[in-house]
Amino acid sequence: MGKFSNKTIFITGAGGGIGKAIALAFAKKGANIALVDVKKEYVDSLVEEVQALGSKALALAVDVTDYQSVRDAVSETVAFFGTLDIAVNNAGVVGIGSIEEIDEQEWDRVLSVNAKGVFICTKAVLEVMKPQKSGAIINTASIAGKMGMAHLSHYVASKFAVIGFTNSIAKEVAETGITVNAICPGIIGTGMWRGEGGIADRWKQPGETEAQSWERNKKSLIPQGTDQSAEDIADAVLFIASAPHITGQAIAVDGGMTM
Ligand SMILES: NC(=O)c1ccc[n+]([C@@H]2O[C@H](COP(=O)([O-])OP(=O)(O)OC[C@H]3O[C@@H](n4cnc5c(N)ncnc54)[C@H](O)[C@@H]3O)[C@@H](O)[C@H]2O)c1
């Protein structure tokens, strides 16, 4: 029997680097997992990985910016597993550009997934958690929710929004026994940072390769000098999910970037 046996976890952005690590960490502790991403094929192979660990998984194709779809996915999760105990609202997109480069459409794209998506998912899961008077909600913010970063202003605005929203809902539901926290990853080499169009690629200096930019940026930005793994973030999420008296916090796993 794992620590999260018979618990059901609802994870958005489950097909991405961090979401996948969180899903597998919960699966190793015996939890049932609802794997949510924009396309089902992003999580299909993860369903098999979760099942291979002896846990149950459900793949759901949902756009977190669409309230009705998220509500339907929450209902499907409860119908399939019988409960919904922990929600990890982790789906996110990055946007890079100077104030001149960011137009209204680009602002709306980033704020809509990162901020509105967290609002929608929190609202939908609370419809189940409030009547049952228990639950844990963990919203993925970022170090970008704690400090300004040049050429990431709309991404930073979206993550400050996640932390402010998290703190407010944590207060609003504090007496129900539901905890609401944010996790703030530092720098993790997922699709967001690595590869074509990722942050390391966009932040290349003249003559630098993407890999060299990655090495330079993580050394210059992180006091510990080394990046964090998706598993580091998963470990912290599992800790928060099992801590009944931690609420309204934005916990950074960032090698000291926001100290
Ligand atoms: N990688 C990092 O260094 C880092 C640092 C701080 C915070 N974060 C945050 O961690 C979270 C996960 O990021 P990641 O690094 O795993 O990135 P990723 O790009 O690997 O994963 C993001 C996932 O979110 C999904 N997604 C995007 N829009 C969606 C939508 N509208 N509906 C449903 N799903 C959607 C994507 O399909 C993808 O699977 C994000 O919120 C990100 O902002 C990442």
**pTM higher than 0.95:** yes
Burial bucket for residue 196 (CB in 10 Å: 0-12, 13-18, 19+): exposed
> Which atom of ligand 1 lies at the shortest distance from residue 141's CA?
7
> Looking at ligand 1, which residue's alpha carbon is closest to its atom 23?
13
Q: Is the CB of 93 under 6 A from ligand 1?
A: yes
Pick the CATH number of 8-188+228-253 from 3.40.50.720, 3.90.380.10, 1.10.1750.10, 3.40.50.2300: 3.40.50.720
Among residues 83, 81, 108, 79, the alpha carbon closest in space to that of 93 is found at 108
pLDDT confidence band for 166 (50 / 70 / 90): very high
What percent of the chain is predicted at pLDDT more than 70? 100
Q: Which ranges in the chain are annotated with CATH 3.40.50.720?
A: 8-188+228-253
Does any ligand 1 atom lie closer than 6 A to the CB of residue 65? yes
pLDDT(2) > 90: no
Percent of the chain scoring above 90 in pLDDT: 96
Residues in CB range of 37: below 8 A, 6 or more apart: 12, 13, 14, 15, 16, 19, 43, 60, 61, 62, 91
- Of 10, 11, 12, 18, the one to substitute when testing ligand 1's pocket (max ligand atoms within 8 A of C-beta) is 18
Instruction: Tell whether ligand 1 has an atom less than 6 A from the beta carbon of residue 19.
Output: yes
Query: Phi first, then psi: what are they for 83, rounded to 5°?
Result: -150, 170
Atom number in ligand 1 closest to CA 14:
39
- What are the pLDDT digits (tens) for 167-181? 999 999 999 999 999
How far is it, in rounded angstroms, from Cα 44 to Cα 37? 10
**Mean pLDDT, rounded, of the chain:** 97
pLDDT of residue 111: 98
Write the pLDDT tens digit of every residue in 115-162: 999 999 999 999 999 999 999 999 999 999 999 999 999 999 999 999
